[in-house]
Amino acid sequence: MQLTSLSAARQIALLRAGEASSVELTQAYLDQIASHDGKVGAFLRIDPERAIAAARKIDERRTAGESLGCLAGVPVAVKDILAERGERTTCASRMLEEFRAPYDSTVVARLKAADAVLLGRTNMDEFAMGGATENSAFQPTRNPWDLSRSPGGSSGGAAAAVAAGMAPLSIGTDTGGSIRQPAGMCGVVGMKPTYGRVSRYGLIAFASSLDQVGPLARSVEDVALLYEAIAGPDSRDSTCLPNEVLPVGAKLHQPLEGLRVGYAKEHFAEGLDSEVASAVQQALAQYESLGAKLVEVSLPHSRYAVATYYVIAPCEASSNLARYDGIHYGYRADQTKLVAELAAKKKSLEAAGDRHAAENLDTPLVRLYCKSRSEALGPEVKRRIMLGTYALSSGYYEAYYLKALKVRRLLRQDFDQVFDQVDVLAGPVTSSPALKIGSMKDDPLAMYLVDLFTVSANLTGIPALSLPCGRTTAGLPIGLQLQAPPLEEERLLRAARMYEQATDWQTEAPPL
């Protein structure tokens, strides 16, 4: 029996029954990482000694009859954007390469309380800005199904780790599709909960009104397990909802009777890959065969979703990333060199008789800000900061940011009307399967359009999930996106489980 081929739910059952130990399970995943991650690049850091020590302690506590958490002994990978006390949290950026968090994020604290074994930190696009996990300052991540292709982003490392059998569970974040898009491209399950369902305390912010932490796993059941462990109120996050999260596992395997599945005509327009369209249509037919009623709906303002997102998200990023100035923490340019450069330039200007220019040179402090940010931030992060700063500047705020907020409200009204007609909305996750690595490097617009079907869930705050629904002729995974009304994670997960139980896409593994 290969432990890494089992679901997390099955692993938990074996651990509780004493048929496997946490040390044995953790070592099995460390062996998988040693075998495969040199090719995939899903992890930025792992600490085998720490992981084995944590697993051994859980085994000892189990043997002693102590009460254990709901994930006791199961390894979990964490996207390198969530703070953990004393550990490096880099956001895949040179800016935070040596930053060690002074506290635990709520999600990490809850994983520890659930007695999960923290396996390592997964790669991502720098500050979660990107859709290919190529914008990492340290390494690209490759898709386990085809190493020449991207795993999606920004949680590409988290999705690739699960797909490659290097972790049973992983934590990602989703600002515009960053859990669902890589889940779809890597053939795993990923869920973005309702905004505020999971605490953002200790999450390094990209766009505060859009960011949400969520689970990735090989099955819907495992996603539900991880979601229950991390969700719930948190007084340290003012945006976290006060609603208690009820267990979803008990009803997960019960099909939803009279389920109304909507599909938006706008999601099947020109530009959708034919194989993706066919797989999603077959998934809709599968729901119909299970007794669901299919309902065509319309999201008339969806054509503006990407444009709206790429005003709001960069504006919030501009504000959030202003704190990285090279002074308080993070990367700092060489001050001695800066002072010498300024002195030499001033001397040169004075010698040329240009006293005015010499007197108006940037101060060493201003130059330090500029130099530190210029050297430590990558091109995509700089691009989004500049976009956001421009849109927030005097004379443009009303034309861009304020208008985007109004369109955001119209998008929410569209979804409210749709959910008066249907229980869940089904459609594609992305317009195409995984793309070749480097294909979007010089075309940021193409990268932004990858988020076409996913950004609306973030703009409206609703829960959404991706699960496998097919393969292309080249063997690449295709994802089905399900969306539900706010706080209806149970409905979303049960609807996903209905489809999963009737198919076997989730049982297939990449040919590493």
Query: CA–CA separation, 324 vs 335, rounded Å?
Result: 16
Distances (CA, A) of 195 to 209, 459, 463: 8, 10, 7
Dihedral (CA of 92, 149, 307, 201) sign: negative
Per-residue tokens: 475: 């063997």
CB count in 10 Å sphere of residue 244: 8
Of the given ranges (19-28, 51-60, 321-330, 354-363), which has the lowest mean pLDDT? Answer: 354-363
Scanning the structure block, which residue is given the tokens 């590409």?
156
Task: Say what the pLDDT of residue 387 is.
Answer: 95
Question: Where residue 358 falls among pLDDT bands split at 50, 70, 90?
Answer: low
Count the Cβ atoms, other than its own, within 10 Å of residue 474: 11
Residue-wise pLDDT tens digits, 93-118: 999 999 999 999 999 999 999 999 99
pTM: 0.95
Query: What tens digit of pLDDT does each residue of 197-243 get?
Result: 999 999 999 999 999 999 999 999 999 999 999 999 999 999 999 99
pLDDT above 90 (res 328): no
Q: What's the CA gap between 370 and 339, in Å, rounded?
A: 13
In angstroms, rounded to a whole number, what is the distance separating the alpha carbons of residues 380 and 368? 21
Provide mean pLDDT across the span 140-166: 98
The rounded distance, in Å, linking the Cα atoms of 140 and 158 is 13
262-286 per-position pLDDT tens digit: 999 999 988 899 999 999 999 999 9
Task: Give the tokens for residue 35.
Answer: 């075998």
Which residue, 110, 280, 76, 289, is CA-closest to 184? 280
* pLDDT at 340 > cutoff 80: no
Retrieve residue 259's tokens.
């389920």
Cα–Cα distance measured from residue 167 to residue 508, given in angstroms and rounded to the nearest whole number: 16
CB 448 within 8 A of CB 130: no
pLDDT above 90 (res 342): no
* Interaxial angle between packed helices 8-17 and 220-230, expressed in degrees from 0 to 180 and rounded to the nearest 10: 70
Of the ranges 201-210, 383-392, 503-512, which one carries the lowest mean pLDDT score?
503-512
Nearest CA to 434 out of 107, 188, 115 is that of 188
> What domains are there in the chain, each with its CATH number?
3-244+255-262+421-507 (3.90.1300.10), 330-376 (no CATH)
Question: Regarding beta strands 424-428 and 260-264, do their DSSP bridges make them parallel or antiparallel, or are they unpaired?
Answer: parallel
Annotated catalytic residues are 79, 154, 178
Contact 133, 438 (CB under 8 A): no
Q: For residue 500, name the pLDDT band (cuts at 50, 70, 90).
A: very high
Average pLDDT over residues 479-484: 98
Looking at residue 357, its pLDDT comes to: 67
Type of residue found at 401: Y
pLDDT of residue 123: 98
Confidence check: pLDDT of 1 > 80 = no
